[in-house]
């Protein structure tokens, strides 16, 4: 991991007008970035925070659900962390409504976030005119990653542009002896696979209709049942070691040319980076079928639990100032595999995958909100449970469709 030289960090702190002025504000930070790439990225935030005079207490909790539930329980129990990670979504909107988060407007207004942050994400962080969360990156949870060596050996010469072409490629990879599709058998990962098939094979309109449905009718439509059968068919391309596998272990199956494809968010690029692999040379990437594929926009935010402690508030503001600064945004996102949240930093150094993302962000017609943004956490959990049941049992397409219809109607 590239560590900032002391001089650079001192220069950074000075540029932020923080050198010397920031007392050793202590920030306990809860996050779930525990893989190789994720920890390399979060170290960039921690190093910059320390260089700006802060004290970083790292509370890393593996698994997004675990970390978010720990944060919510700690807030409810009156012993909140200083700062905590969520997704750019509705996940923390309830605690905002309950008045349990501080806003960070003191930094947002000073730093001009209104002009800097992309519109599709702003509505999840700016609530009732105040910033109650700070976005730190833009992730697309729904990318297709592939090993160039595995596809070449299998005779797959072009990126699939349809489900039929995807299945044909998976068949060739299976015949070549490699694992066609690397998957971590955990509900949230099975959810990513389901949603990718829904918005690529089913289409963006069907995806939006599904998550907007209040009568459940879409779930018993022929189009949605076709998506379910495509999802079930993918099961035949996943290896028996999938149950409970962590997402980054699945990514490493592609990195080590054991598997052809993985459907996963672009945080996977952090793992390719740690393995010193190059996009376009060692691995390929595409967000869906064709140059105008829908592009799902989510990412990560940090929230600032309510506190009256003046030092804790200073620590929250120091964190927000450091994490949103141009130099830290470039350094952190390069390791994280995401696109910087600021639109005024040099995107030229991004790899070919992120360049595809930057192009998609410029085309509002391709923007796709994530499930975490379209439905409340409880309904998201019910949908994920139905997906994981359908994936892991011999439940029929018709029975699964009825289950989804009941959830959407609920």
Residues 6 or more apart whose Cβ sits within 8 Å of residue 242: 183, 184, 185, 250
Provide, rounded to whole angstroms, the least separation between the CB of residue 41 and ligand GAL: 8
In eight-state DSSP terms, residue 202 is I
From candidates 33, 146, 207, 304, binder to ligand GAL by CB under 6 A: 33
Residue closer to ligand GAL, measured from CB, 32 or 143: 32
Burial class (CB within 10 angstroms; exposed 0-12, middle 13-18, buried 19+) of 110: exposed
The residue sitting closest to ligand GAL, measured at its beta carbon, is 267
Provide, rounded to whole angstroms, the least separation between the CB of residue 297 and ligand GAL: 11
Question: Residues 260, 146: contact at Cβ < 8 Å?
Answer: yes
**Burial readout 253-263 (b: 16 or more C-beta within 10 A, e: otherwise):** bbbebebbbbb
Residue closer to ligand GAL, measured from CB, 64 or 284: 64
Closest CA to 336 of 275, 252, 268, 251: 268
The length of the chain, given as a count of residues: 410
Told to check if 146 binds ligand GAL by CB under 6 A, we report no
Residue closer to ligand GAL, measured from CB, 65 or 385: 65
Return phi, psi of residue 286, to 5°. -155, 145
Provide, rounded to whole angstroms, the least separation between the CB of residue 300 and ligand GAL: 5
From the list 31-39, 220-228, 350-358, 392-400, the region that binds ligand GAL by CB under 6 A is 31-39
Closest CA to 225 of 392, 399, 375: 399
H/E stretch holding 284 = strand 283-286
Provide, rounded to whole angstroms, the least separation between the CB of residue 214 and ligand GAL: 26
HSE toward the beta carbon, residue 389, CA cutoff 13 A: 14
Provide, rounded to whole angstroms, the least separation between the CB of residue 361 and ligand GAL: 16
| DSSP bridge partners of 87 | 300
Question: Residues 394, 202: contact at Cβ < 8 Å?
Answer: no
Provide, rounded to whole angstroms, the least separation between the CB of residue 266 and ligand GAL: 9
* Rounded alpha-carbon distances, angstroms, from residue 183 to 146, 252, 258, 311, 381: 12, 11, 12, 44, 20
Sites for ligand GAL among residues 84-103 (CB under 6 A): 87
Residue closer to ligand GAL, measured from CB, 198 or 296: 296
Residue closer to ligand GAL, measured from CB, 32 or 124: 32
Provide, rounded to whole angstroms, the least separation between the CB of residue 312 and ligand GAL: 24
From the list 30-38, 45-53, 69-77, 363-371, the region that binds ligand GAL by CB under 6 A is 30-38
Residue closer to ligand GAL, measured from CB, 151 or 375: 375
From candidates 25, 28, 32, 45, binder to ligand GAL by CB under 6 A: 32
Provide, rounded to whole angstroms, the least separation between the CB of residue 160 and ligand GAL: 24
What are 246's two structure tokens? 């962590």
From the list 32-40, 74-82, 125-133, 400-408, the region that binds ligand GAL by CB under 6 A is 32-40
Coil vs helix vs strand at 365: helix
Residue closer to ligand GAL, measured from CB, 139 or 366: 139
What are 364's two structure tokens? 């509002």
Return phi, psi of residue 301, to 5°. -130, 165
Residues 6 or more apart whose Cβ sits within 8 Å of residue 373: 88, 89, 90, 124, 298
From candidates 68, 90, 139, 335, binder to ligand GAL by CB under 6 A: 139
Provide, rounded to whole angstroms, the least separation between the CB of residue 76 and ligand GAL: 22
Told to check if 68 binds ligand GAL by CB under 6 A, we report no
300-303/134-135 β-pairing: antiparallel
Told to check if 300 binds ligand GAL by CB under 6 A, we report yes
Coil vs helix vs strand at 298: strand
Sites for ligand GAL among residues 234-293 (CB under 6 A): 247, 265, 267
User: Residues interacting with ligand GAL, by CB under 6 A?
Assistant: 32-33, 38, 64, 87, 139, 247, 265, 267, 300
């Amino acid at each position: 991991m590239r560590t900032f030289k002391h001089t650079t960090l001192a220069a950074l702190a000075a540029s932020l007008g923080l050198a010397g002025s920031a007392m050793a504000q202590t920030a306990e930070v809860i996050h779930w970035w525990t893989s190789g790439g994720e920890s390399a990225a979060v170290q960039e935030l921690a190093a910059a925070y320390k260089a700006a005079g802060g004290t970083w207490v790292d509370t890393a909790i593996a698994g997004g659900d675990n970390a978010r539930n720990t944060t919510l329980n700690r807030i409810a129990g009156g012993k909140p962390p200083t700062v905590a990670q969520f997704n750019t979504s509705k996940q923390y909107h309830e605690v905002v409504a309950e008045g349990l988060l501080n806003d960070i407007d003191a930094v947002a207004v000073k730093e001009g976030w209104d002009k800097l942050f992309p519109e599709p994400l702003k509505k999840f962080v700016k609530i009732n005119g105040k910033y109650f969360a700070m976005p730190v990156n833009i992730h697309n949870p729904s990318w297709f990653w592939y090993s160039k060596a595995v596809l070449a050996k299998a005779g797959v010469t072009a990126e699939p542009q349809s489900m039929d072409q995807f299945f044909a490629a998976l068949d060739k990879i299976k015949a070549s002896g490699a694992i066609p599709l690397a998957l971590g058998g955990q509900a949230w990962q099975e959810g990513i696979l389901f949603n990718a098939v829904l918005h690529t094979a089913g289409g963006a309109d069907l995806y939006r209709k599904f998550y907007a449905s209040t009568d459940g009718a879409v779930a018993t439509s022929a189009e949605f049942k076709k998506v379910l059968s495509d999802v079930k068919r993918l099961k035949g391309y996943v290896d028996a070691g999938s149950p409970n596998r962590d997402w980054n272990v699945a990514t490493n199956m592609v990195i080590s040319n054991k598997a052809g494809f993985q459907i996963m968010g672009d945080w996977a690029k952090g793992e390719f980076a740690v393995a010193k692999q190059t996009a376009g040379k060692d691995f390929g990437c595409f967000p869906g079928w064709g140059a105008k594929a829908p592009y799902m926009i989510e990412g990560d935010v940090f929230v600032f639990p309510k506190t009256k402690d003046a030092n804790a508030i200073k620590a929250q503001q120091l964190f927000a100032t450091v994490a949103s600064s141009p130099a830290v945004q470039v350094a952190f996102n390069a390791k994280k595999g995401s696109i910087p949240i600021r639109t005024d930093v040099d995107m030229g150094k991004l790899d070919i995958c992120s360049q595809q993302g930057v192009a998609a962000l410029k085309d509002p017609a391709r923007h796709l909100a994530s499930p975490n943004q379209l439905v409340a956490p409880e309904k998201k959990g019910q949908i994920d449970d139905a997906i994981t049941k359908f994936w892991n049992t011999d439940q029929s397409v018709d029975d699964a469709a009825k289950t989804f219809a009941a959830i959407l109607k609920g």
